[in-house]
Amino acid sequence: MRLPVIVAAALMPVVAWFSQRGAFGPDNGSLSDRYPTLLVAAGYAFSIWGAIFLLDLSFALWQARSRYRDAPALVRVRPAIAAGFTLTALWMPVFSQQWFWPALAIIWLALACLAWAAVRLARDVDPLPAQAWWAKLPVSLHAGWLSLAAFLNTAQVIVAYRLLPTERMLGWSLALLAAMALLLSALNARMHGNAGYVLAALWGLVGVYVAQSASARPGATVVAWLALALAAALLVQTAWLRARRRRKLFSGHLTPGD
């Protein structure tokens, strides 16, 4: 499975390049403007994809080294990572074609694959040399951003098909924000306060605050401050999780799965 990971990692930036040039239809920014929501982040926040693609490709090349071919930690997660990368690449043209229901299914499947892989890597109590940077960081950063992007995409589908009121979006936007908070906190807990995962989540939440604090839509200010509050809560949770894990390490009470 080493080669599929490399191919999938290389595919993402290539597809993104064509997507941004309108090869598949309107780019993501144009569609976001066409279907505005209270959960969309500021445009600059999406630049994180450049870092994600670069780190994912670095991981793909690193895991392909012969010394890591049969490493149990990598053997377990390679299929899920290859699937997550492939689904990420597939989402771009599907979304540009405005096939919103398939795109929504794709982004949630990509999140499921990469979140599972990130949890497995983060919970490995006997990590490979350099795994923290070459494996955990790229996969967890990607999973962290998708943890927000999946909800942003869900909100856009709701607006595109007018499944819920589009003039009064605050109620259902708060429900999505609450679900996002539960997912972020649950995955962060399972990863013991993973820095890459939290960094991506914070970047996105601050992006939501920036976008919504400047928006005149009803309810935007409420969502802006709640996004900032969620970012602060995630930071507090991360500090607590990491401190608790350090105490267990020093006391010798750390067990597999802790």
Read off the pLDDT of residues 127-145 as tens digits, 9 standing for 90 and up. Answer: 555 566 777 899 999 999 9
Q: Tens of pLDDT along 151-188?
A: 999 999 999 999 999 989 999 999 999 999 999 999 99
Asked if residue 17 belongs to a domain, the reply is yes
> Above 60 in pLDDT, residue 211?
yes
Q: Which of 77, 165, 89 is nearest to 114 (CA)?
A: 77
pTM for the full predicted model: 0.92
Asked if residue 205 belongs to a domain, the reply is yes
> Above 90 in pLDDT, residue 93?
yes
Asked if residue 54 belongs to a domain, the reply is yes
pLDDT given for residue 181 in this prediction: 97
Task: Determine the Cα–Cα distance for residues 122 and 245; give it in Å rounded to an integer.
Answer: 12
| Confidence grade of residue 258 (pLDDT, cut at 50, 70, 90) | low
Asked if residue 171 belongs to a domain, the reply is yes
Q: Which domain holds residue 119?
A: 2-251
> Above 80 in pLDDT, residue 123?
no
- Spatial CB neighbours of 81, under 8 Å, sequence gap ≥ 6: 5, 8, 59, 113, 114, 117, 139
Q: Where do we find the tokens 């500021």?
A: 42
Asked if residue 257 belongs to a domain, the reply is no
Task: Determine the Cα–Cα distance for residues 180 and 101; give it in Å rounded to an integer.
Answer: 19
Asked if residue 258 belongs to a domain, the reply is no
> Above 60 in pLDDT, residue 253?
no
Q: How wide is the angle at C-alpha 105 spanned by C-alphas 148 and 208, nearest 5°?
A: 20
- More reliable by pLDDT, 246 or 91: 91
Phi, psi of 98 (to 5 degrees): 65, 30
Asked if residue 83 belongs to a domain, the reply is yes
Task: Determine the Cα–Cα distance for residues 204 and 138; give it in Å rounded to an integer.
Answer: 16
pLDDT given for residue 125 in this prediction: 43
Instruction: Report which secondary-structure segment, H or E, holds 24.
Output: none
Q: How many domains does the chain have?
A: 1
Average pLDDT over residues 114-139: 76
Asked if residue 33 belongs to a domain, the reply is yes
Contact 111, 38 (CB under 8 A): no
